Amino acid sequence: MVSVSEQYEAYPYPERDPSDEAKRLITGSPSHPLEMDHFLWEGRRDWSQPLRILVAGGGTGDGLIQLAQVLTSAGKPYDITYVDLSTASRAVAEARAQARGLTGITFHTGSLLDAPDYGQFDYIDCCGVLHHLPDPAEGFAALRKALAPGGGLGFMVYAPYGRSGVYPLQEAFGTLFDGLPPQDRLAKAKEIVTNLPAGHPFAVNPHLTDHRQSDAGFYDLLLHGQDRAFDVGDLLAVLDQTGWRLQSFCTPALYDLSRIASRPEGMGDGEAMAVAEKLRGTIKLHAAYAVPSDDLRKPAKGSNRQLIPHLRGVQPRALAQAVAQGKPLPINMGGVSERVTLPKDAAPLIAAIDGRRALAQIAEATRTDPLRFGALWGALDKHLTAWGLMLYSTLGR
C-alpha cells in the first residue's frame, strides 16, 4: 500500500503551477475572510486586530494563498502557520506565496495531529485532510485543542452520495495494485477507467471531474489508500464527539429540507439536513464552519442594520439590472440547479451594495421606507445568503 505521505510526495494535490499566480487567484469555501466573518463572528470582526491562523494540512496552498492574499489586499494584519506532511506540497505552497510576495507565513513540515504544539489560533483551516486520517476523530480533537477562545474552524470533508462509484474503484485498485509504486498504479488505473462499462456508477456520475484535470487529481480521487466519506449524520456525530458544533454549511440551501419537501413536525435540524442530503444525492463534499460545542454564537443575520453586505460571485449592478427586468437568478451549486426570483423593487438595494455601506446606509441612500426596506431585504437575505452569494463582514470598511 502507498502511504498518504508517499502519495503526496509523488503527486502533490491539487496540482498547481506557481507561475499561474500572476494570472489568477483561486478562491472558494471555506476560508474566504468575508465568509469567515459572516459565519464565525456575526459579520462584525474587528479586523484591526491580527488574525492568528493555522492552515492544517495545507497541501499545495489553495486555502493558504486565498487567506493571505485577501487579507493582504484588504490591508489587514495576520499571522499564518502552515503545516503539511508532504515536503513536495509544501514546496509548491511556498513558491506560490513567494510568487505573490506574501509575508506573515511560517511553513512547517508535520502532522495536523500536532496542531496544539504550534499554539492557539483564532481561525483554523483544514480542507480536504481529515477524511484521509486513520482516525478522523483524532484530527478533529487535535484541532479543537489548538483553537483560541472565540475562534472557529473552516473545514471540508468528502460526502458519499455525490461520489457515487468512487469507493468501489478505490477498493478494487487497492487490491489489484498492492505493492506497485504510485506511477505504475496510475498508469494501470487509467487504462481500466477508460474502459469502464457505460453504466458503471462512476462512468455515469457527472459531478466528478478531478480525474480529467491532472494526474494528481486522478490519483487523489481513485487511488487514495485512505479515504473516508462522511454523510451528514456521521459528520454531526464526530463533531459532537470531539467538542465541536456545526455552525453552518457554506451553502445552507443545499441542506434545507423545506426547499425539497415538507419537513415532518418534530424532526430535528440534524435529521432534516441528513434527509435533504439523501434527497439531493449530488453533494460530493461538505464545506462548513464549526465552533466549540458550548459556544452559542450564530451566523450573521440581515436583521441587524449595522452589518455590511457583500455580494460574492455576482456583480451588484449586473444582478440589479437582471432583477429590475424580472429575470430569475440561476443557481448551480453542489450538483443542484435552481432559479431564484427576487422582488423587482429590490434592484436599487442590490445596486447600492459596495462592501462599505451598512444596511442602514443602503436604506438611506435608496430612500427606502424602513418597513418596505425590511421586507425587501428579508427576501434578499433569505435567498442570497442561503446560497452563499451574500455575506456580511466589516472586512472592506
Strands 390-392, 309-311: pairing is: antiparallel
pLDDT of 397 strictly over 90: no
Both 150 and 55 in one domain: the answer is: yes
Both 86 and 157 in one domain: the answer is: yes
Across the chain, mean pLDDT equals 97
For residue 25, the model assigns a pLDDT of 98
Q: 214 in a domain, yes or no?
A: no
Both 17 and 113 in one domain: the answer is: yes
Q: Which residue segment(s) compose the domain that 336 sits in? A: 309-392
Mean pLDDT value of segment 289-310: 97
Both 317 and 264 in one domain: the answer is: no
Could you tell me which of 370, 359, 350 has the C-alpha nearest to residue 392? Answer: 359
Query: How is 315-371 classified by DSSP, letter by letter?
Result: -HHHHHHHHHTTPPEEEEETTEEEEEPPPGGGHHHHHT--SS--HHHHHHHTT--HH
For residue 270, the model assigns a pLDDT of 98
The last residue of a domain, from among 238, 258, 292? 292
Both 260 and 350 in one domain: the answer is: no
The helix-helix angle for 62-74 and 33-40 (nearest 10°) equals 90
Q: Are 389 and 33 in contact (CB under 8 A)?
A: no
Q: 197 in a domain, yes or no?
A: no
Both 253 and 375 in one domain: the answer is: no
In angstroms, rounded to a whole number, what is the distance separating the alpha carbons of residues 18 and 313? Answer: 24
For residue 179, the model assigns a pLDDT of 93
Both 17 and 108 in one domain: the answer is: yes
In angstroms, rounded to a whole number, what is the distance separating the alpha carbons of residues 182 and 202? Answer: 21
Both 238 and 367 in one domain: the answer is: no
pLDDT digits (tens, 9 = 90+) for 126-137: 999 999 999 999
Q: 180 in a domain, yes or no?
A: no
Both 21 and 88 in one domain: the answer is: yes
Mean pLDDT value of segment 335-350: 94
The last residue of a domain, from among 292, 319, 341? 292
- Which strand (E) or helix (H) includes residue 5? helix 4-10
pLDDT digits (tens, 9 = 90+) for 372-396: 999 999 999 999 999 999 999 999 9
Could you tell me which of 117, 139, 121 has the C-alpha nearest to residue 130? Answer: 139
What b/e readout covers 65-86, taking b as 16+ CB neighbours within 10 angstroms? bbbbbbbbebebebebbbbbbb
pLDDT digits (tens, 9 = 90+) for 205-235: 999 999 999 999 999 999 999 999 999 999 9
Q: Residues 68, 72, 77, CA angle at the centre, nearest 5°?
A: 90
Both 47 and 95 in one domain: the answer is: yes
Q: 347 in a domain, yes or no?
A: yes
For residue 144, the model assigns a pLDDT of 98
pLDDT digits (tens, 9 = 90+) for 13-24: 999 999 999 999
Could you tell me which of 219, 200, 39 has the C-alpha nearest to residue 123? Answer: 39
Cell of 266: 418534530
Q: How many domains does the chain have?
A: 2
Q: Are 18 and 92 in contact (CB under 8 A)?
A: yes
For residue 2, the model assigns a pLDDT of 82
Strands 78-84, 51-56: pairing is: parallel
Both 287 and 319 in one domain: the answer is: no
Both 34 and 136 in one domain: the answer is: yes
Q: 183 in a domain, yes or no?
A: no
Could you tell me which of 313, 312, 309, 314 has the C-alpha nearest to residue 394? Answer: 309
Mean pLDDT value of segment 257-281: 97
Q: 28 in a domain, yes or no?
A: yes
Mean pLDDT value of segment 296-321: 96
Q: 122 in a domain, yes or no?
A: yes
The CATH number covering residue 137 comes to: 3.40.50.150
For residue 185, the model assigns a pLDDT of 97
pLDDT of 352 strictly over 90: yes
Share of the chain above pLDDT 90, in %: 97
Q: 53 in a domain, yes or no?
A: yes
The last residue of a domain, from among 241, 264, 292? 292
